[in-house]
Amino acid sequence: MSDLMKAIHASRRQLVGLEDEEIWRSFLEQAAGGRSLRAMPEAGLRKVLAALRARGAGGGRFRPSPKAHVRKVFALWGDMRRHGILENPTRAGLRGFVARMTATQARPEGVGDPDWLTPQEAAKVVEGLKAWRGRVLAKQEHGER
């Protein structure tokens, strides 16, 4: 499997709504004019990857943080993205949430990036994410939205 196809499959897993095979085939046809990645020329594969990234899939490889408390924040954010909870599932969306959760009188702008969180700040962010996720999943269980 080519690196381009691997990137497409990884990006597909990041997006909610493309799990269904028929929806996925329709997406491929709309993005690149074909319903099969294997039969698609490289230019078509690039169009598919660009369309996935335009819908919010992350691009490229990333290096996980060496800090366990930061990895926990990213893990919860990713779980919420997979459940379709987030309106802005991008890293910029996470940065905004982190900034709001860590804002204080002394630092009203909060922490600008999850990688800069102290263990105490990360714990506050993690608890906020867990509470948010719990509220949304409880509503979904009861048929609300």
End-of-domain residue from the set 28, 54, 80: 54
Give yes or no for residue 145 having a pLDDT over 60.
no
Number of domains comprising the chain:
2
For residues 80 and 137, membership in a common domain is answered with: yes
Q: 3-state DSSP helix/strand/coil percent for the chain, to nearest 5? A: 60, 0, 40
Identify whether the C-beta of residue 21 lies closer than 8 Å to the C-beta of residue 11.
Answer: no
What is the predicted pLDDT for the residue at 54? Answer: 82
Per-residue pLDDT tens for 7-35? 888 888 777 678 789 989 999 999 999 99
The count of other CB atoms within 10 Å of the CB of residue 132 is 15
pTM, entire model: 0.58
- Residues 37-90 have pLDDT tens digits of 999 999 999 999 888 888 777 655 556 788 999 999 999 998 898 888 988 888
Tens of pLDDT, residue by residue over 85-110, are 988 888 888 989 999 999 999 888 98
Is the domain of 72 the same as that of 122?
yes
Range of the domain at 126: 68-141
Q: Does residue 61 belong to any structural domain of this protein?
A: no
Residues 48, 91: one domain? no
Instruction: Answer whether residue 125 is part of any domain.
Output: yes
Residue 92 lies in a domain: yes
The pLDDT of residue 107: 87
- Kindly give, in sequence order, each residue whose CB lies less than 8 Å from that of residue 33, ignoring residues fewer than 6 positions away: 44
Does residue 107 lie within any of the structural domains? yes
42 and 84 in a single domain? The answer is no
Same domain, 33 and 85: no
Is 62 inside any structural domain?
A: no
Give the pLDDT of residue 99: 92
